[in-house]
Structure 1
Amino acid sequence: MTEQSFPAPPAVHHYIPIFYSKRWASGVPRMLTRYALWRPGVIAVDRKAPKGVGWELNGYSFDGFSGDEAEAVESQLMKPKDDFASRMLCRLETSGADGHWTDDERYAWTWFLVSLLVRGPEDVRSAKANISSDWENPNKRMEGRYQKLLAEFPEMRGHAHPTLKEYIASMGRDYGKRLGVKIMADMADHHEISTRIANMHWQVRTIRGGRRLLTSDRPVRRDYPFRSKNSLLTLPIGPKLAFIAANSRDAIDRSFREGEDVFVQKNNKQIVRQARQFAFAFDDSDREWVERNLAKEAQRGFFHFIRGTGARS
């Protein structure tokens, strides 16, 4: 049994990419060190079984629905795509990023990377609240956009509702919630960014020195805007394995120019500081440092991301 891979959370409602390979899962269960920021200045440190982390019960459920309808986002979108991405992770663990990737395989992994930027627990809660409330009670800006649409397409006036509020009312009392489900299903599928990452150079690097990578509930490190020739994206997929994507091979090589230890140090610093609540480690050897840095520069959430703080950067 090796320490090449982080263990995985359950297949449902998970949001933290601490996967494990099938070969590792068959061995003796390994514990993780979890750092949890419960409130400002209060950090709990404990040891958790792999399947006890990285998920939130009913995380994707929308109020007002029940049964299969309530779990539609998880069962119909997240779980199938997560399962496919998990298979791609196993490939990255065993043979790296080399060899031929089909469009579906490359997209499956790219989708997962993008989804990590927008589907943390806080993002999901915010999306559900904002989408449902906005569409149940449209504001003046939303009404103005609706009227502008009618003005641009006057042929619609003959059969369209005169106001957005009347249109929403005609769709039934749960329209805001149903629309929320649809937007939640689409939010992780940001085409522009997915395309850029899919066309980057991919590599898996094994860390051979003594330092280990950490992960968190915000595990994707991004250096430079996606359009920059120096753009670099990293994701720890194990204490000794890092997935790296960049717009050039030179950018990947430069990230290791100062040595593996410096790469790990920089990666750990950004991922721990941008966490919202949780960080995870192979052991507690970095405890003092993690406690000082956890969530000090918490990454902004989904609505900030979509409204321009990263989507087109």
Structure 2
Amino acid sequence: MSRNPPVKHHYTPRFLLHGWTGDDGKLWRFTSPYLGKIAIKRVAPAEIGYQKHLYSIPGAAPDKAQAIEEKFMSALDDQAADAHKLLLQGKVALPQKLRSAWSRFLMSQWFRTPEGVGHMKQAMASLLAKDDPALFAKYEALKKEDYPPSLDEAIALLDPHFAEHAALQVMMKLMDDPTNGHRLNNMQWFVREVEGGHDLLVSDKLLQMGHGIFSDSGYLTIPLSPLLMFCAVKQPSLGKAIMAMGRNEFVSRANRAVVRRAVEYIGATDMSQAPFIEKHFGRDDHPTLIGAIAKRYADGEVAGSSG
């Protein structure tokens, strides 16, 4: 029997979303299909945080088109799921393999959303469209009589999807960047519990960062469940300040960022925060890391570090 390759690519993995589900195995999903319009539906984790063919390789044969999802993203999420189980128990002193797996998962959240993939593809197309006299001169020197007249035509003839392929390859390298992975591994990790009021919300912008993540005042947060927030800081004093912040203020700040920066969806355990979500959904045009990196590519620079 032939196997159907996965075409629904989850940029928010189901292992994370399961924490927001109720006894029926579903959570509340808020989307904004039109400006000013909010659609609400109760759905299973399989029906949230995904886009069909998000990481598909354009032009590839059907049995190879989903290779990035099957071989890279699935493996990344499977390892992160093992780390997530321990983090839910408050165990932040993870074995090195799982610590690195969680750091890799955090880095993937910088790039793998529909917005992020779109930024990267557009930027790569801009980069490849720029004039590069040295490269064009080299092609002129090496081309033979039956070669296409220009390098642009040669690339288009060999692979009309070259820019998209290159963007996906760069994206995977950035998700597995050893320099930034080492930086994340060496930050102080802790989990903050927030029981006693409104739950934490989840969205396509569930990863929040501030003050230059790898600077002395930098930090990173991501909700592990409706009641638990993973935090990473450079300086222990900042970690103490985060833990000392009032519970309601902490949740309010976290949910405001998650909701106002959302683009694709917001997930919730119940409807108690529906008015807040409807009022603030996607209200911040917040610059993202992938947007900044994509701009560097579009401007002809090389993106190799996010710190």
Normalised by the size of structure 2, how large is the TM-score?
A: 0.81
Partner in structure 1 of residue 260 of structure 2: 273
Deviations 1:145-167 (A, max 9, x none): 6369x6xxxxx997589964366
The CA deviation at 1:308 is 5.8
The code of the aligned residue for 2:239 comes to I
Shift of 1:209: 2.1
| Partner residue in 1 for 2:57 | 62
> Residue by residue, what CA displacement relative to the aligned partner does 1:228-281 show, whole Å, maximum 9, x if unpaired?
212111100100011110002221121233311111111111111111121111
Taking the aligned partners of 1:43 and 1:173, their CA distance within structure 2 comes to: 38
Q: Which runs of 5 or more residues in structure 2 are unaligned?
A: 1-5, 298-302
Amino acid in structure 2 at the alignment position of 1:16: T
Shift of the 297–21 alpha-carbon distance from structure 1 to 2, 3 Å rule, reads: closer
8 Å Cα contact 1:232/1:244 also seen in 2: yes
User: 1:3 matched to which residue of 2?
Assistant: none
Letter in 1 for 2:135: Y
Aligned-partner Cα distance in 2 for 1:89–1:18: 12
2:260–2:281 contact (8 Å) kept in structure 1: yes
The 3 A distance-change label for structure 1 pair 42 and 111 is same
1:50 pairs with 2:45:
yes
Determine if contact 2:12/2:49 at 8 Å carries over to the other structure: yes
Change (3 A) 1:66 1:299: farther
2:215 corresponds to: 228
In structure 2, C-alpha distance between the alignment counterparts of 1:194 and 1:54, rounded to whole Å: 24
| Cα distance in 2 between the residues matched to 1:271 and 1:29 | 25
- Kept in 2, the 8 Å contact 1:15–1:55? The answer is yes
Percent identity for Structure 1 against Structure 2? 27
Whole-angstrom CA distance in 1 between matches of 2:220 and 2:173: 22
2:238, 2:253 → 1: CA distance? 15
Moved more, 300-309 or 66-75: 300-309
Superimposed CA distance per residue, residues 110-133 of structure 1 (whole angstroms, 9 cap, x where no aligned partner): 1111111111112224434554x5
Cα shift readout 1:288-308 (whole Å, capped 9, x = no counterpart): 111111111144453434446
Cα 1:249–1:145 shift into 2, 3 Å: farther
Describe the shift of the 1:266–1:11 C-alpha distance in structure 2 as closer, same or farther (beyond 3 A): farther
Question: 2:135 maps to which residue?
Answer: 146
Q: Give the conservation status (yes or no) of the 8 Å contact 2:7–2:53.
A: no
Label 1:129 to 1:226 Cα distance change in 2 as closer, same or farther (>3 A): closer
In the alignment, does 2:192 pair up with 1:196?
no
Report the CA distance shift for 1:110/1:158 in structure 2 as closer, same or farther (over 3 A): same
> How many pairs were matched up?
291
> After the TM superposition, which of the residue ranges 264-273 and 117-126 deviates more from structure 2?
117-126
TM-score of the two chains, using structure 1 as the length reference = 0.79
Cα displacement (A) at 1:42: 0.8
Matches within 5 A, 1:236-255: 236-255=223-242
1:6 aligned partner: none
Unaligned runs of 5+ in 1: 1-9, 151-155
Partner of 2:300: none
Counterpart for residue 12 of structure 2: 16
